[in-house]
Amino acid sequence: MIGQVVGKYQLLDKIGEGGMGTVYRAEHTVLGSPAAVKVLLPMWTQDEIVVDRFFHEAKAASAIHHVGIVDVFDFGRLPNDQAWIAMEFLPGENLTQFLARSGGRLDAAVAQIIGAQILGALDAAHISGVIHRDLKPDNIVIVRDPSAPGAVRVKILDFGIAKLGADRFGAKMETKGGTILGTPAYMAPEQCRNMTAIDARADLYALGCILFELLTGRPPFLAETGVAIVRMHLDEPPPRVVNYAPHVAGELDGLIAKLLVKSPEDRMPSAAYALAALERISLPPVGDVHVLVAPRVAAGAREQRTELLEHPLGAPPSKQFPIVVIVIAVLIAAAAVVGIGLYA
């Protein structure tokens, strides 16, 4: 599909692929502005439930207006009936990749910055009547933003199974054979029971699982199968962060424990409440966080452009020193010539 025009966007190259669709880097045919276009795989075109969920993602995300939520520009169908969504291009890395590149766990101050931004975005979503229901590191992208704390900006995406207040978009969202929607490692107990009355506190539980993983290098519950993990969410008390990361402050450990309470009635009541509690925790300041700001692509011009974006001074540290030496040498030589001219 490279080179094809989808809606008002020309597909430039493939940047990702999953079981449901393919994501392309694209640009607007008139404005030249960047975008990411997700195209549903042909095999799912006739599955009404899958198509409904696909468009559900676009409608849910577009219902929220917040810097921490991916912007959706347009959606529709191709002449062959394939569904597509055009959205904001995020030149960064997801939280799973960021965590792996950071050695498997983050400093508490960095985790606090990321957690606070997620909570701010969740608060906006919940106020708009949208519950994500599949919050996990793979669905959180980290991009560079010099105006944000730590120079990083969190973006939440993939609202394919989000719950919308009062079903205002008419999404069907049925499941087949009683399938539970979500990712087991991050699912709240009430979601594991497949309850229909799930509210915003399910997202807070998922964030508790994410923060636990950012600080310890593992989610709260691990097992060989998803069913076993679901059972642990239902029956086993959650471990404490300090059991795996003793250096983490007690206040932060306690906040995460409150997010992981089994009963939603006893959990923190809202994203705004949790955000206020997180911001009250005093942690050492952190400098700018290094983020890969563009996916690695084929060697050549785009590779060089990525490298320049990753280093604010215009080139990697290994290449900056020779440039500085050359500039200094030129200046010295120029000064010498001027001096000779003055004394001639």
Q: Are strands 83-87 and 72-77 parallel, antiparallel or unpaired?
A: antiparallel
* Cα 81 to Cα 161: distance, rounded to the nearest angstrom: 22
* Cα 206 to Cα 135: distance, rounded to the nearest angstrom: 6
36, 14 Cβ separation under 8 angstroms: no
Sign of CA dihedral 257, 262, 266, 269: positive
Q: HSE on the CB side for 67, CA within 13 Å?
A: 11
β-bridge partners, 142: 93, 154
Residue 185 tokens read as 């490692």
Q: Is 53 helix (H, G, I), strand (E, B) or coil?
A: helix
Q: Is 34 helix (H, G, I), strand (E, B) or coil?
A: strand
Pick the catalytic residue from 47, 107, 123, 134: 134
* Cα 120 to Cα 68: distance, rounded to the nearest angstrom: 7
Sign of CA dihedral 56, 58, 64, 67: positive
Terminal-residue alpha carbon distance, the chain: 69
Q: Is 76 helix (H, G, I), strand (E, B) or coil?
A: strand
* Cα 261 to Cα 19: distance, rounded to the nearest angstrom: 33
Known catalytic membership, residue 134: yes
Q: HSE on the CB side for 90, CA within 13 Å?
A: 27
* Cα 326 to Cα 315: distance, rounded to the nearest angstrom: 15
Q: Which residues are catalytic?
A: 134
